[in-house]
């Protein structure tokens, strides 16, 4: 382990659901038949997961999980990244563990030897490149304070949390415990709201979390308007202003807005090729943004880095960039 | 089960290794460091598989297996297809089973409840789109006559075999037993030689098999020259001529040659887009060709159908077409 001048061995540590994605080409009729909200994330139990998978077409499996995608992207960019999440000691757990370690992230949460299988997310990709997710949380939801490597948290300058964890009581407690440790060591806390339906389920506690613990907030348009029950984007933007040091609001093809230091930066989306699959767009935006932040870049530049990384991942299937992000950054923002 | 006018319920039944592929972006230096022959298939044991996987980058998992890819392609094209192969009752086995059934192929070989894990093939894709494979045969190699659903074989008009099975003694016996049943019911036997190194390992018995049992032979240039120890493609072509009713010889970017009915048909390659990954090119050529054959098309047309399907699969990552093959055929050869 290398301890740098800042006395820390990691730049960012993330806590999230450790998930393997199953990407399947689908269509609107399938979503309708199975009562799925296009673009959203639905939680399913083991039996529903089995039935949906059986009905779906052939899949492509790849490591996923929102915070895990962000941390894998950060590691690829050369940021010292660690991840905390819970898999089972099964084949999908081995795939998840290999993939995140193989890009250089630290992942040391012990695989559970009993209980539910490694989490899976059936991602139905429609011809318009939208993704609709059905998540079986499996082992992932049982993440609890005892699993939490607080030493790993203490080694990092920033803690990154995904809102999806809010759906599990134990995971939520682990999440808050880690945030308090991070604050106590003088580090920063970043949160991604993850999903508008998840925000609907936990609005009150998300508002308290943002006010009390969050330095950097990531949300897309649906999430931020759900959080403050606003009619439009501009109204939601006014609501969040000043509640945390930095708010990063993404709007898909409309680009993104970064609020911080009393300023508003509007960032263009980055178009690198035909749109294939939006899975991981928000996660990789966060990778690029936090990469910039750890290097002390301006907020505008951080937004551009986020936009570039998101722009890459939507030109491919799946949420883990197969192109070289450092090369991309050197080419476009070098 | 639908029994058609021909008294059979299946057009083609395949026997092969039931494998899940792990696709990893790699480079020549990695191949050299690990002593791997570019473009070839090496067999590895569980420990070698673990070590190679650990050294490799993040992967994308997708169902594979040479004959399984061919049968999945056939099923997608509307051919009544069945597959026989052995998985373990583990997560990768469930993925393999789902994927082949989800395109409409019959797959009823019971998953083994003991023994080695489901077979995995680490496929290293280099920037030139070549693939180099390291296969851990796992449960797949234990396919034996007892696993063989001879009823399924009897229901089909054609038996399709992959040469890779020759690497397992029990699988080889299962393979010959099925070929004899197929001949006895008046059906045809097709064989794909699979890999030049596999041909080197079993040259004599492959020659006997071709002479004694095979109606339709698929081979690429390296395989057919290895089989007859010829210096060049034209010499190998002369050697195979007349040894089986139809010989289909593929040559990558040089196109393919179909020998049959005393004629030689030279077929152009089909270029549908930039070359991404050659995994599955030969397997999907066989899908297109046999699709044509089951519909009574001319040999030239069968070759064009093979070339088209191969042309599609090399424009994507992985050996199972994510584009609609029936739509492709309607557009280009309708």
Say yes or no: B43 contacts chain A, CB-CB below 8 A.
no
Tell if the CB–CB gap between B58 and A102 is shorter than 8 Å: yes
pLDDT at B174: 85
How does the average pLDDT of chain A come out, rounded?
A: 94
Say yes or no: B120 contacts chain A, CB-CB below 8 A.
no
Q: CB–CB of A239/A226 below 8 Å?
A: no
Say yes or no: B235 contacts chain A, CB-CB below 8 A.
no
- Has residue B143 got a pLDDT over 90? no
- Which residues of chain B does A25 touch, with a Cβ-Cβ cutoff of 8 Å? 322
Phi, psi of A251 (to 5 degrees): -135, 30
pLDDT at A321: 97
Residue where the block lists tokens 């991070």: A182
- To the nearest whole angstrom, how far is the Cα of A270 from the nearest Cα of chain B? 23
pLDDT at B28: 97
Return the domain boundaries, chain B: 10-16+64-115+140-333
Angle of CA points A86, A92, A93, to nearest 5°: 30
Task: Dump the DSSP string for A229-266.
Answer: T-SSHHHHHHHHTTTSSEEEEE-GGG-EEEEETTEEEE
Tell if the CB–CB gap between B57 and A90 is shorter than 8 Å: no
Give the mean pLDDT of B38-67. 96
- Whole-number Å distance between alpha carbons of A68 and A45: 22
Q: Residue B4's pLDDT band (boundaries 50, 70, 90)?
A: low
Model pLDDT for residues A222-251, shown as the tens digit of each residue: 999 999 999 999 999 999 998 999 999 999
The DSSP code for A112 is: B
Q: Residue B5's pLDDT band (boundaries 50, 70, 90)?
A: low
Say yes or no: B98 contacts chain A, CB-CB below 8 A.
yes
pLDDT at B167: 84
Tell if the CB–CB gap between B90 and A91 is shorter than 8 Å: yes
pLDDT at A148: 83
- Has residue A78 got a pLDDT over 80? yes
- Which residues of chain B does A72 touch, with a Cβ-Cβ cutoff of 8 Å? 58
Tell if the CB–CB gap between B57 and A95 is shorter than 8 Å: no
Q: What class is the A10-17+64-114+141-333 domain?
A: alpha beta
- Has residue B23 got a pLDDT over 90? yes
In this complex, the residue of A61, A102, A318 whose CB is nearest that of residue B57 is A102
Reduce the DSSP state of residue B197 to 3 states and report it.
Answer: helix
- To the nearest whole angstrom, how far is the Cα of A314 from the nearest Cα of chain B? 16
- Which residues of chain B does A63 touch, with a Cβ-Cβ cutoff of 8 Å? 58
ipTM field = 0.93
- To the nearest whole angstrom, how far is the Cα of B198 from the nearest Cα of chain A? 28
Model pLDDT for residues A130-158, shown as the tens digit of each residue: 999 999 999 998 887 777 888 899 999 99
Q: CB–CB of A309/A325 below 8 Å?
A: yes
In this complex, the residue of A57, A100, A322 whose CB is nearest that of residue B25 is A322
Q: Residue B80's pLDDT band (boundaries 50, 70, 90)?
A: very high
B66-97 per-residue burial string, b: 16 or more CB within 10 A, e: under 16: bbbbbbbbbbbbebbbbbbbbbbebbbbbbbb
- Whole-number Å distance between alpha carbons of B280 and B274: 16
Kindly identify which residue of chain B lies nearest to residue A104, measuring between CA atoms: B57
- To the nearest whole angstrom, how far is the Cα of A172 from the nearest Cα of chain B? 29
Kindly identify which residue of chain B lies nearest to residue A88, measuring between CA atoms: B91
Q: How far is CA A109 from CA A82, A207, B57, in A?
A: 10, 29, 20
Model pLDDT for residues A284-304, shown as the tens digit of each residue: 999 999 999 999 999 999 999
Model pLDDT for residues B215-272, shown as the tens digit of each residue: 999 999 999 999 999 999 999 999 999 899 999 999 999 999 999 999 999 999 999 9
Helix count and strand count (H, E) for chain B: 13, 14
Say yes or no: B60 contacts chain A, CB-CB below 8 A.
yes
Of B177, B160, B268, nearest to B214 by C-alpha is B160
Structural tokens at position B187 = 């059906």
Structural tokens at position A85 = 């999440």
pLDDT at B27: 96
CATH code of the domain occupying B10-16+64-115+140-333: 3.40.1190.20
- To the nearest whole angstrom, how far is the Cα of A129 from the nearest Cα of chain B? 14
- Choose between A65 and A8: higher pLDDT: A65
Say yes or no: A59 contacts chain B, CB-CB below 8 A.
yes
Of B215, B217, B214, B254, nearest to B234 by C-alpha is B254
Q: CB–CB of B133/B122 below 8 Å?
A: yes
- Which residues of chain B does A98 touch, with a Cβ-Cβ cutoff of 8 Å? 53-54, 58-59
Tell if the CB–CB gap between B59 and A98 is shorter than 8 Å: yes
Q: Residue B151's pLDDT band (boundaries 50, 70, 90)?
A: confident
Say yes or no: A47 contacts chain B, CB-CB below 8 A.
no
The DSSP code for A140 is: G
Structural tokens at position B247 = 């010989």
Percentage with pLDDT > 70 across chain A: 98
Percentage with pLDDT > 90 across chain A: 89
Give the mean pLDDT of A262-278. 96
Model pLDDT for residues A31-43, shown as the tens digit of each residue: 999 999 999 999 9
- To the nearest whole angstrom, how far is the Cα of A164 from the nearest Cα of chain B? 24
pLDDT at B3: 46
Tell if the CB–CB gap between A117 and B91 is shorter than 8 Å: yes
């Amino acid at each position: 382990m290398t301890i740098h001048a800042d006395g820390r061995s990691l730049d960012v540590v993330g806590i999230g659901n450790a998930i393997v994605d199953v990407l399947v080409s689908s269509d609107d009729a399938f979503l309708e038949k199975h009562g799925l909200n296009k673009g959203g994330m639905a939680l399913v139990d083991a039996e529903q997961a089995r039935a949906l998978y059986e009905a779906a077409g052939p899949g492509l499996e790849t490591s996923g999980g929102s915070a895990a995608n962000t941390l894998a992207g950060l590691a690829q960019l050369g940021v010292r990244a660690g991840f905390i999440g819970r898999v089972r000691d099964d084949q999908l757990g081995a795939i998840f563990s290999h993939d995140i370690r193989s890009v250089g992230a630290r992942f040391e949460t012990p695989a559970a030897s009993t209980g539910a299988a490694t989490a899976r997310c059936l991602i139905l990709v429609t011809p318009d490149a939208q993704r609709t997710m059905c998540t079986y949380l499996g082992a992932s939801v049982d993440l609890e304070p005892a699993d939490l490597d607080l030493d790993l948290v203490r080694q990092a300058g920033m803690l990154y949390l995904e809102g999806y964890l809010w759906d599990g009581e134990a995971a939520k407690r682990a999440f808050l415990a880690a945030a308090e440790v991070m604050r106590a060591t003088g580090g920063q806390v970043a949160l991604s709201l993850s999903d508008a339906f998840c925000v609907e389920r936990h609005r009150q506690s998300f508002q308290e979390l943002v006010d009390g613990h969050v330095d950097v907030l990531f949300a897309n348009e649906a999430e931020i308007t759900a959080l403050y029950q606003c009619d439009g984007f501009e109204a939601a933007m006014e609501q969040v202003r000043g509640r945390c040091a930095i708010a990063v609001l993404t709007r898909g093809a409309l680009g993104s807005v970064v609020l911080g230091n009393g300023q508003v930066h509007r960032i263009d989306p980055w178009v690198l090729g035909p749109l294939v699959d939006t899975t991981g767009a928000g996660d990789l935006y966060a990778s690029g943004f936090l990469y910039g932040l750890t290097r002390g870049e301006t907020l505008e530049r951080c937004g551009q880095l986020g936009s570039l990384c998101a722009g890459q991942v939507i030109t491919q299937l799946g949420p883990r960039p197969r192109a070289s992000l450092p090369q991309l950054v050197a080419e476009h923002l070098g």
